[in-house]
Chains A and B, each alone.
Chain A
Amino acid sequence: MDVTPPAEVVERRINARQAYRSDLKPVWCPGCGDYSVLTALFAALAELQIPPHQIALISGIGCSSRLPGYAATYGLNTIHGRPIPVATGLKSARPDLTVIAMAGDGDALSIGGGHFPHAARRNIGMAYFVMDNNVYGLTKGQTSPTTPTGEQTATSLYGWPEDPANPLGLALAYGVSFVAQGVAGDVKGLARLMVEAIQWPGFAFIEILSPCVTWRGKEQYDVIRDRARPIPPEHDVTDLAAAFRYAHDPEHLYVGVHYRQRKPTFQERVTALQQKAAAKGAGNFDRYLAKFRA
């Protein structure tokens, strides 16, 4: 919370966050990390004072993907693994909207994993929040791509034999222009990261460690708390190699912005192309098509 200087007095609603809340009551399990993510999102939107009708939240399927239903913004609970393509289409058609895609770790890295690198290389102007609980929550606790090696789950009773994917490492390798990690247990810290991500001109990814108390137990909070460390303030966020080192640290989960590098967005490139085409004048599409006739 900041006290704004008198010169910039802004009248804010006492309960500014409430403006974003829908009438639907969340049905997540008590203790679920996703409650904190929702509150952090409301805080970030209130801080940015974006009117609800200018926001679209696009999710896939999963416990975490219920989130758009709880917000009084536009939103779409799409199909499993597809928030990125739907959000990409929306942002392309309505670049004026604040588009936020969101997913669980299963949604984002299993079935929807193929969309991630393409959103990154296109640098679509949207935020992408992945609520990672290391498990498929909605479908009752099966392993996901981020389940740690050796973990016992509903589908790995003797321990999980695979190595987990590293979402931050993948984002960096794919060329995502804004990469950060937040934890559900720190609502205010997470909200601040969301403010940055939402304002970022380009594709902004936040890996959110959001415990599933039902299938991973409350202990998941302790595990995260023990391993979480703020990213050191001296970290140069444009240093990709350093960002990789933090992302792959074997001991600690670094919280904060790992990487940030401005590059042209998809919308900027498309606008440039439109201007180029307009300068050339109207083309003859039929003549162009004729080239392909046998």
Chain B
Amino acid sequence: MSTSHTIDFAALTLQDALDLGILIEEDARERYGEFVDQLEAHYTEEAAAFFRNMVRNEGKHRDWLTKRRTSLFGAAPSRVDASMLVEIEAPEFSEADIFMTLRQALDVALKAEVRAYRFFADALKHVRDPQVRELFTELRDEEVEHQQMVQREIDKLPPGPEPDTRGQADEPVGH
């Protein structure tokens, strides 16, 4: 639901854009980490293991962007405000489920990657700086690769209906 952004993309410099990219990856890494903790606590191991993988992936992307940022701009102070940056590539909390299957976990990640793709695609409509354009195009295209990677994992799953995990829990009494 958090889709309203107030970023002035037209004014972004390459340094801002790299900082923004780092924050997006960090937010996603943090959220997947929280999902791992939640599901481990409820012994939902398959989904937790997949999210653990996502933590590693998002961490790698963040580190790669950080390296680039540092080589170009050193320790120059960031002008990008991190506090309100939420759920651009991170899945929403409501998507976690106590008896989540691996397929459901993969679906959640796929949805998040599609959201991230849309973010960069929409941003590109406003970006002016050619270097920022190049970076955002790269990041947008990477989101397509991530989607394909998740889709490949989904395709590996055995066909057939998903187990009805709801039955493992008490029915919410209100329904």
Contacts and interface: CB of A to CB of B under 8 A. Distances in A.
Task: Determine if chain A interacts with chain B.
Answer: yes
B7, B79, B95, B172: most-surrounded residue (chain A CB, <10 A): B172
Given A1-B84, A30-B38, A14 B26 contact: yes
Given A2-B81, A35-B93, A154 B87 contact: no
Bin chain B's interface residue count: 35 or more
Contact of A213 (B16, B80, B85, B172): B172
B82 A17 contact: yes
Contacts of B96: 30-31
A191 B94 CA distance: 17
Nearest to B98: A30
Contacts of B71: none
A31 B83 contact: no
A9 B84 contact: no
Q: How large is the interface on A (under 10, 10 to 19, 20 to 34, 35 or more residues)?
A: 35 or more
A116 interface: no
A31 B97 contact: yes
A153 B78 CA distance: 50
Interface string B94-125: 11111010000000000000000000000000
Nearest to B38: A30
Contact of A3 (B34, B44, B81, B174): B81
A11 B92 contact: no
Contacts of B149: none
B93 A3 contact: no
Interface of A is mostly: loop
Interface stretch (A39-47, A99-107, A284-292): A39-47
Nearest to A211: B94
A15 interface: yes
A214 B79 CA distance: 41
A16 interface: yes
A12 B81 contact: yes
Contacts of A1: 5-7, 20, 23, 80-82, 84-85
Interface in A176-234: 183-189, 191-192, 211, 213-219, 221, 225
Given A25-B37, A219-B175, A2 B82 contact: no
A151 B77 CA distance: 53
Contact of B2 (A2, A16, A187): A187
B83 A47 contact: yes
9 contacts: A1-B7, A4-B81, A9-B77, A25-B41, A26-B37, A44-B83, A157-B173, A187-B87, A188-B4
Interface string B28-58: 0010001101110110100000000000000
A123 interface: no
Contacts of B11: 3
B172 A14 contact: no
